[in-house]
Amino acid sequence: MYQSDRIIKEKPHLITRSLYPENQETPIHFLKENVTPSPLTFRRNHFPYPSISIQTYFLTITGHVKTPVTLHYNQIISMPSRTVTSIIECSGNKRAYFEPKVFGEQWTEGAISQGVWKGVPLSHLLSFTGINAGAREVVFLGGDFGLKNGEYVHFERSLPLEKALDPNVIVAWEHNQKLLSPKHGFPFRLIVPGWYGMASVKWLKTIRVLNHHFTGPFQSDDYVYYPHKDQDKDSFPVTTNRVNSIIQQPRDLQILKPGIHEIAGLAWTGEGVITSVEISFDNGETWKTVHLHDTPLKYQWVKWSFSYVFEKNHEYNIMVRAFDSFGRSQPDKAFWNHNGYGYNEVSMVKIQIEK
């Protein structure tokens, strides 16, 4: 049998950025559906994967509360649940495009996914304990740990109390109608819609309410915007997703035949919704409004497309920018910061048309 006689099924694969710990992104042309399958969901880790079993698992809620509690897995999954469809985007997404270059995982555009998450609202869990007057933040400790700056630490992050009590913030046990996979936070992970992925702590073990500001290394050192190369002046924390977009087709530096081609991609934002997406074929001199395929929804990306007639023997810079309901848009130049977070410069691909 010749190879041409067989049906060859191509399976998409994640792109590996590092092996230890495992960090992998999704090729963006595979993000075709509104829900990203678990095997294609990007993976972001600071430490090796922890090993956690349901039999020995307990979630503790403690700190500045009236009644600390310890809950078993079965107790939590029997509680009233909420389902949230939301993107999760690594704050370092598109880091590879910063100029001048910055250190860190060199993500291109695929450190983003969209999933259906089911779990118990965090506010419901906190209602069991009661919150003392003066509470300011809620800290979430994950089961993953390792060396950082010469010390063994767990991945640990906090949310302001107001955000923690948002009914859409959940302690999830399901991802896309299946139990969380071990690589995406089993048995529980926090889901914080509208915030970059560092807030959605995986392998959740302890929830702690504080009456002061949390200053762990992943709160005060990492996931902070440092606008200056050699000093901490004017720094501020990474929180909500910035308005952004990607061009999925055509691909950068692709050679196409003359004629009509569809340009397509995704757009999203952290607060509010996407209101419009514009495209330019003349280096930003003029802009046209693209077609949005869906009604924009909070916390979710929207698919867009635009058909254009390309002339033979030409090169084109295709530029795209998104706008949201808070009046924000992608800037012409990304906000450079020392750790390379929040890149959302106007999206662009260059293509060539055959003679």
Q: For residue 120, give the 3-state DSSP assignment.
A: strand
Provide the pLDDT for residue 8. Answer: 54
Provide the pLDDT for residue 5. Answer: 46
Provide the pLDDT for residue 332. Answer: 97
Provide the pLDDT for residue 10. Answer: 63
Provide the pLDDT for residue 32. Answer: 87
How does DSSP assign 156-192, residue by residue?
A: EEEEEHHHHT-TT-EEEEEETTEEPPGGGTTT-EEE-
- Which residues pair with residue 163 across a beta bridge? none
Contacts of 133 (CB under 8 A, 6+ apart): none
CA-to-CA distance for 341 and 221, rounded, in angstroms?
13
Provide the pLDDT for residue 9. Answer: 61
| 8 Å CB contact between 174 and 119 | yes
Which pair of structure tokens corresponds to residue 157?
């992050």
Provide the pLDDT for residue 4. Answer: 43
Contacts of 211 (CB under 8 A, 6+ apart): 64, 132, 134, 135, 136
Strands of 274-280's sheet in order across: 255-256, 347-353, 315-324, 274-280, 288-289
- Put simply, whether the predicted model's pTM sits higher than 0.85 gets the answer yes
CA-to-CA distance for 301 and 297, rounded, in angstroms?
8
- The domains of the chain, with CATH numbers, are 15-222 (3.90.420.10), 244-353 (2.60.40.650)
Which pair of structure tokens corresponds to residue 239?
């929180």
Provide the pLDDT for residue 2. Answer: 40
User: Tens-digit pLDDT profile for the chain (355 aa)?
Assistant: 444 445 556 678 899 999 999 999 999 998 989 999 999 999 999 999 999 998 889 999 999 999 999 999 999 999 999 999 999 999 999 999 999 999 999 999 999 999 999 999 999 999 999 999 999 999 999 999 999 989 999 999 999 999 999 999 999 999 999 999 999 999 999 999 999 999 999 999 999 999 999 999 999 999 999 999 888 899 999 999 999 999 999 999 999 999 999 999 999 999 999 999 999 999 999 999 999 998 999 999 999 999 999 999 999 999 999 999 999 999 999 999 999 999 999 999 999 999 8
Alpha-helical (H) ranges within the chain are: 73-77, 122-129, 161-164, 217-220
| 8 Å CB contact between 320 and 347 | yes
